[in-house]
A and B are shown apart, each in its own frame.
Chain A
């Protein structure tokens, strides 16, 4: 089907070249400009929830005149689709990714993009750029920074006489007090938080997945203590579970099913629209003496398929779009949904991010943001998530569960650090 679609669209742009359709507008989703004769590039995006993003990225692609860029807009399990497509001959030339994954870098499936950004390297949010860097080389250009944070309903907290929680203990306490017959205290996702929280509670306890020297960073009694408190939330029946949509959707919060919800910055416009000023945002609260409040940050990055047919053309296109065209980058981050531009200079300029909850969120991302390191593999992450789920839901002993994860993580870290590719 890909082929037939390409051919079809190719014909369209061919017609456009003759000028016959030139007057009818440039809404073909590709080609356009004066060039048209360049190579055909296929560019993948995951489906953004906000209106207008698809039209915007098509507009950018249309404006590029050194290649014929076609946009593939892909709903569904994007990362799974992408991994599978990169195994085959028909993968995209350029694509956005939450990764690139370490195994993709080591398997030389993504191209080295260090040269593309060398002049503006210091302008990228360092926490985010670090996750796209392996052995000093950059394999993905960060597009926008996303973050997760805690939303709370001011009026409900006031009614219950609860202060916005600043420690994990206070969060457990607040969630319990806020739980009524019709409304739960806190929503951490339908699985009780196991999948979305990840390293967040560890970071809040002053720990991490991987420490600076490349060893397991949560082989510490404080880790078990922090995770045990998540179990308390579940055992108290303070958590909302089994909502139709998951943590990424603010629906449960805006429908009044929960008094507090862990969600993304992208939810802020919808929350504001539904609740006006009746909400506030918080980081994940700290735990223990060594702890600090924390928020996970991450970025979709643009990458080039190293096994594709047009590596050089793909690189040139990405450099144009994600390094040179700052007006597009600003438009992409701020005009549709709610994201922080990955370039610090652009983030500073953005008016939208200078007041209210948004400003608060940006400050949190800059001061308390963390990102999972690249060498933290999917296998290690799956083992951790499974253990966290068992701790939260089954009440399994956190110490014993974590010991198993530490072993798995050690062997994965040894695998990815041990032998050079």
Chain B
């Protein structure tokens, strides 16, 4: 009797778990268990060990919250997001609008802009660091500067003005603009042609007016998705920072986003897993709050139920 109830009508409950179970169990094991473990470690002095005995209460949290390097890493994330999100949004939308209206060679241009998506951050960082933006005379950027008689610039080592941001932002822009261009292209294709025809009848000319009153409003859903994905991705930033800036002897104190900071702290030579875990928990809380706020702001979630 109980068994039948558990199985549900037509064994639906059983079938549900046959389909969803393997995925859910794996996700729990590799996401929720580590989260719980992280929470546990964060209350201990865990240098070089994952089974600590030295309970320290909230000391790790206190250290982390008052640590100026951690605060700097959060600030780095904010600056990075404030630049990369609008920049990628504008570039990928512009590319989509231009490519969409091409009558010839559309596939060619689409491929060219989409191709960098296939490159890894590691490869791109190599090209940027060693060939385009290296600080010596045979770097491409410095060669171009040389044509105009300017001095060489050590792009990644100069903090005043912070040229390293130019390197970091352009590499990500190159890598991801094509992907979002495809999303915008898909969005553009869904806009009914009749809207444009009606606008033409009303005397609206090609260009800005049409974009403002028809195209952009029609892309609202796509735009929201693009912004959300961009923000999530910029929070995950690690690869290009690490490959552009770290050296055998360490990582400079600037341009250190949260993920890089935690990597150095917990998995570098220091192996301070307790402190690193406390940092991870703090980050999780911040993201939770930010995500809820963002979802409220965009009015997401209403559609769900």
A–B: direct contact at CB < 8 Å:
yes
On A, residues with C-beta under 8 Å from B are 77, 79-80, 83-84, 86-87, 101, 103-104, 107, 109, 181-182, 189-192, 194-196, 237, 240-244, 246, 248, 252, 257, 377-379, 382, 385-386, 389-390, 393-395
A-chain residues with CB within 8 Å of residue B249 when the two chains form the complex: 189, 195-196, 246
Please, how many angstroms separate the alpha-carbon atoms of A174 and B31 in the complex? 57
A-chain residues with CB within 8 Å of residue B133 when the two chains form the complex: 242
**CB pair B156 A101 closer than 8 Å:** no
State how many angstroms separate the Cβ of B217 from the closest Cβ of chain A. 45
Which 9 residue pairs spanning A and B have beta carbons closest together?
A242-B135, A241-B154, A195-B249, A242-B154, A386-B253, A241-B157, A378-B270, A103-B47, A393-B159
**CB pair B136 A257 closer than 8 Å:** yes
Contact count band on B? 35 or more
B-chain residues with CB within 8 Å of residue A379 when the two chains form the complex: 270, 272
State how many angstroms separate the Cβ of A282 from the closest Cβ of chain B. 21
| Cβ of B130 under 8 Å from chain A | yes
B-chain residues with CB within 8 Å of residue A86 when the two chains form the complex: 48
**CB pair B250 A385 closer than 8 Å:** yes
Please, how many angstroms separate the alpha-carbon atoms of A248 and B68 in the complex? 30
Please, how many angstroms separate the alpha-carbon atoms of A402 and B133 in the complex? 32
Please, how many angstroms separate the alpha-carbon atoms of A275 and B271 in the complex? 42
State how many angstroms separate the Cβ of B134 from the closest Cβ of chain A. 5
- A107-B49, A378-B269 known; A191 and B264 CB under 8 Å? no
Instruction: Tell me which of B154, B156, B247, B269 contacts A80 (CB under 8 A).
Output: B269
**Chain A, Cβ-Cβ closest to B250:** A195
Please, how many angstroms separate the alpha-carbon atoms of A390 and B264 in the complex? 18
State how many angstroms separate the Cβ of B133 from the closest Cβ of chain A. 8
| Cβ of B9 under 8 Å from chain A | no
| Cβ of B231 under 8 Å from chain A | no
**CB pair B253 A243 closer than 8 Å:** no
**CB pair B48 A103 closer than 8 Å:** yes
**CB pair B48 A109 closer than 8 Å:** yes
B-chain residues with CB within 8 Å of residue A394 when the two chains form the complex: 159-160
- A189-B247, A243-B136, A389-B252 known; A382 and B264 CB under 8 Å? yes
| Cβ of B34 under 8 Å from chain A | no
**CB pair A244 B252 closer than 8 Å:** no
**CB pair A190 B247 closer than 8 Å:** yes
**Chain B, Cβ-Cβ closest to A248:** B248
**CB pair A107 B250 closer than 8 Å:** no
Please, how many angstroms separate the alpha-carbon atoms of A195 and B47 in the complex? 23
Please, how many angstroms separate the alpha-carbon atoms of A252 and B133 in the complex? 16
On B, residues with C-beta under 8 Å from A are 47-50, 69, 130, 133-137, 139, 151, 153-160, 247-250, 252-254, 264, 267-272
B-chain residues with CB within 8 Å of residue A393 when the two chains form the complex: 157-160, 254
Please, how many angstroms separate the alpha-carbon atoms of A20 and B104 in the complex? 69
Please, how many angstroms separate the alpha-carbon atoms of A146 and B124 in the complex? 34
State how many angstroms separate the Cβ of B129 from the closest Cβ of chain A. 8
Please, how many angstroms separate the alpha-carbon atoms of A87 and B41 in the complex? 15
State how many angstroms separate the Cβ of A198 from the closest Cβ of chain B. 9
Interface centre among B50, B134, B248, B264 (most CB of A within 10 A): B248
> Interface SS of chain B: helix, strand, loop or mixed?
loop
State how many angstroms separate the Cβ of A264 from the closest Cβ of chain B. 11
State how many angstroms separate the Cβ of B117 from the closest Cβ of chain A. 27
**CB pair A80 B136 closer than 8 Å:** no
**Chain B, Cβ-Cβ closest to A257:** B136
State how many angstroms separate the Cβ of B127 from the closest Cβ of chain A. 12
State how many angstroms separate the Cβ of B192 from the closest Cβ of chain A. 52
B-chain residues with CB within 8 Å of residue A87 when the two chains form the complex: 48-50, 271
State how many angstroms separate the Cβ of B218 from the closest Cβ of chain A. 46
A-chain residues with CB within 8 Å of residue B137 when the two chains form the complex: 182, 257
**Chain A, Cβ-Cβ closest to B163:** A242
Please, how many angstroms separate the alpha-carbon atoms of A248 and B135 in the complex? 17
- A191-B252, A242-B136, A378-B270 known; A107 and B247 CB under 8 Å? no
Instruction: Tell me which of A79, A83, A182, A241 contacts B135 (CB under 8 A).
Output: A241
A-chain residues with CB within 8 Å of residue B48 when the two chains form the complex: 83, 86-87, 101, 103-104, 107, 109
A-chain residues with CB within 8 Å of residue B272 when the two chains form the complex: 379
Instruction: Tell me which of B47, B69, B156, B253 contacts A242 (CB under 8 A).
Output: B156
A-chain residues with CB within 8 Å of residue B158 when the two chains form the complex: 241, 393
**Chain A, Cβ-Cβ closest to B63:** A411
State how many angstroms separate the Cβ of B60 from the closest Cβ of chain A. 13
**CB pair B271 A382 closer than 8 Å:** no
**CB pair A242 B49 closer than 8 Å:** no
- A87-B50, A395-B160 known; A386 and B69 CB under 8 Å? yes
B-chain residues with CB within 8 Å of residue A196 when the two chains form the complex: 249
B-chain residues with CB within 8 Å of residue A240 when the two chains form the complex: 135-136
- A84-B267, A393-B159 known; A190 and B49 CB under 8 Å? no
**CB pair A246 B248 closer than 8 Å:** yes
**CB pair A243 B134 closer than 8 Å:** yes
Q: A246-B249, A389-B252 are in contact. List 8 more A-B contacts (CB 8 A).
A: A103-B271, A190-B156, A195-B247, A241-B154, A241-B158, A252-B136, A257-B136, A382-B264
**CB pair A242 B155 closer than 8 Å:** yes
State how many angstroms separate the Cβ of A173 from the closest Cβ of chain B. 21
**CB pair A242 B157 closer than 8 Å:** yes
Please, how many angstroms separate the alpha-carbon atoms of A191 and B249 in the complex? 10
**CB pair A194 B252 closer than 8 Å:** yes
**Chain B, Cβ-Cβ closest to A411:** B63
**Chain A, Cβ-Cβ closest to B272:** A379
Q: List 9 A-B contacts (CB under 8 A).
A: A86-B48, A87-B49, A241-B157, A243-B135, A244-B134, A246-B248, A382-B250, A385-B253, A389-B252
Please, how many angstroms separate the alpha-carbon atoms of A192 and B248 in the complex? 14
State how many angstroms separate the Cβ of A397 from the closest Cβ of chain B. 15
Please, how many angstroms separate the alpha-carbon atoms of A240 and B48 in the complex? 37
Instruction: Tell me which of A84, A244, A377, A395 contacts B130 (CB under 8 A).
Output: A244
**CB pair B247 A246 closer than 8 Å:** yes
Please, how many angstroms separate the alpha-carbon atoms of A134 and B207 in the complex? 75
**CB pair B47 A107 closer than 8 Å:** yes
**Chain A, Cβ-Cβ closest to B68:** A404
Please, how many angstroms separate the alpha-carbon atoms of A87 and B46 in the complex? 11
State how many angstroms separate the Cβ of B110 from the closest Cβ of chain A. 34
A-chain residues with CB within 8 Å of residue B134 when the two chains form the complex: 242-244
